[in-house]
Structure 1
Amino acid sequence: MSLYRVLHAVVPPLAKAVWRPTVTGLDRVPERGGVILASNHLSFADSVVIPCVVPRKVVFLAKSDYFEGTGVKGALSRAWFTGLGMLPVDRDDTRAAIASLDIALEVLGRGEAFGIYPEGTRSRDGRVYRGRTGVAHLALTAGVPVVPVGLVGTEKLQPVGSRLPKVVPVTVAFGEPIAVAGRFDGVPLGKARRVLTDEIMTAVAALSGQEPAGVYNERPIDA
């Protein structure tokens, strides 16, 4: 049995028993086939919360730092993130954005679910930021639907600087899948990406109830 299967058999039931998240629209996530789960981003814990409530494997990208530690702590960290289905990416590499898209397309090509945060980095003021068009590039290239996801309360689950998660109300809402097949035939690629990305983020904001910031969110230098 793979490490993922072992952890997924233990972590989600335990997490749901402790935190009892409110989950709506889960039946909107296809049971099989390539699909993108596009979510707002409030906390580091988001990449754990979503896989815990979705029955199928959801692959997220994580900082390569989490996979490169040494000693017992490094081994445990590597096993934890690998077991949750996460893949490493070097965010400080100038080629990381391109590499991450290639990795995502490989995941979708295998018929798996890929999780992404179109805002690029987590919101620090509670607003939902403008989406970057990588999510639309993936959907249009792979020809897969996008399921918008709205998270509420995860920023309180494990605040920045907190070593242990807190027991707080968390809501995960899944929206109607946004299909792409045949919708943008004849539309310039750049425009298609922008229109689709804005559509996805509008759906995400409706699910999360966040105020739209109307601008891009920039990652702090020390993040």
Structure 2
Amino acid sequence: MKFSIGGPLKLAFRPWVEGLENVPSQGPAILASNHLSFSDSLFLPAVLDRKITFIAKSEYFTTPGIKGRLTAAFFKGVGQLPVDRSGARGAGEAAIKSGIGVIERGELFGIYPEGTRSPDGRLYRGKPGGLARVALATGAPVIPVAMIDTEKIQPPGKVVPKLMRPGIRIGKPLDFSRYSGMEHDRFVLRAVTDEVMYEIMKLSGQEYVDIYATAAKRQIAEAAKAEREAAKAEARAVKDAGDKGGTEQERSGS
């Protein structure tokens, strides 16, 4: 399915790629990318000659009905690996275990260190659990990747994509063997993650925000809610003022 999807995708969107030579032709590696759109998990595999496996929530593979089966087949075809995300800690451990398994098979493992899509096109703080632990536990090189303009092709909530050329920049592999055996040291995990995010920032040219994307999404949602409530309050105040004015006119007329 990779080839049946990848060919038409490249033909329709003509993605440009820099640094493809940095992806090894064989052997394990971790591709750590920024995350702007759902389509990131389609465009990156489409330009690679090798299979790359990402983590996906298990609900994509277990939804009943014809639509559920088609969805499961699609995600399996594009190299998505189901992980049960019930419980934050359990989900994290399952993702790490799955990533290590991919690397031990000598394959490419894809991961989004931000943990979720950027809500506004900026680059957010990487989560230290998955990426760094898989890298240090396996010794696999980490290859930073920057997706360019994919959020313009398919913004969150949009089903029909816009035809335009996205870009992909692939950086040189990063070696973290100096931290071998320290995958449970939180300061080391933070240092490894920050180094990778810095390289992604240089490749993507994104503004960096030193908070997690999940926190940013909450802030954006809360601000939007507050704005809606303020608009409703203003509308009520205008209505109340109009009703009061009408009542006073009726009284003066009587």
2:21 corresponds, among 16, 23, 27, to 27
In the alignment, which residue of structure 2 is the partner of 1:73? 67
Quote the RMSD (CA, aligned, Å).
Answer: 1.9
The whole-number CA distance in structure 1 between the counterparts of 2:132 and 2:180 is: 14
What is the CA distance between 1:185 and its match in structure 2? 5.8
Q: Distance in 1 between matches of 2:188 and 2:110?
A: 21
Q: Give the Cα separation in 2 of the matches to 1:186 and 1:108.
A: 16
User: 2:240 maps to which residue?
Assistant: none
Aligned-partner Cα distance in 2 for 1:60–1:84: 9
Instruction: Describe how 1:26-105 pairs up with structure 2 within 5 A.
Output: 26-94=20-88, 95-105=90-100
| Cα distance in 1 between the residues matched to 2:70 and 2:29 | 29
Percent sequence identity over aligned pairs: 45
The Cα of 1:189 is off from its aligned counterpart by 2.9
- Matching residue of 2:230: none
Deviation string for 1:57-82 (max 9, x for gaps)?
00001122211222222221111111
Higher share in helix: 2
One of 130, 139, 142 as aligned partner of 1:143: 139
Cα 1:18–1:186 shift into 2, 3 Å: closer
Q: 2:204 aligns with which of 208, 212, 215?
A: 208
Question: Could you report, residue by residue, the CA deviation over 1:4-56 in whole angstroms, capped at 9, with x for unpaired residues?
Answer: xxx12221111101000011101100111111000001111111111111110
Aligned length: 215
Structure 1 17/186 Cα, relative in aligned 2: closer, same or farther at 3 Å? closer
Q: How does 1:72-221 map to 2 (within 5 A)?
A: 72-94=66-88, 95-133=90-128, 134-181=130-177, 183-184=178-179, 189-218=185-214
Whole-angstrom CA distance in 1 between matches of 2:132 and 2:25: 21
Q: Aligned partner of 1:88: which letter?
A: P
TM-score (norm 2): 0.80
Higher RCO (CA 8 Å, separation ≥ 6 residues)? 1
Q: Deviation digits for residues 100-125 of structure 1, max 9, x if unmatched?
A: 11111111111111100111111111
Q: Distance in 2 between matches of 1:209 and 1:163?
A: 27
- Bigger Rg, which one: 2
- The TM-score with structure 1 as length reference comes to 0.90
User: Does the CA-based 8 Å contact 2:37-2:154 persist in structure 1?
Assistant: yes
Give the Cα–Cα distance (whole angstroms) in 1 for the partners of residues 81 and 179 of structure 2: 31
Distance 2:70 2:181 in 1: 50
Whether the aligned pair in 1 keeps the contact of 2:139 and 2:180 (CA below 8 Å) is no
Amino acid of the structure 2 residue aligned with 1:122 = R
- Aligned residue identity for 2:36: L
SS of corresponding position for 1:191: helix
Give the C-alpha shift of residue 186 in structure 1: 8.9
Instruction: State the shift of 1:86 in Å.
Output: 0.6
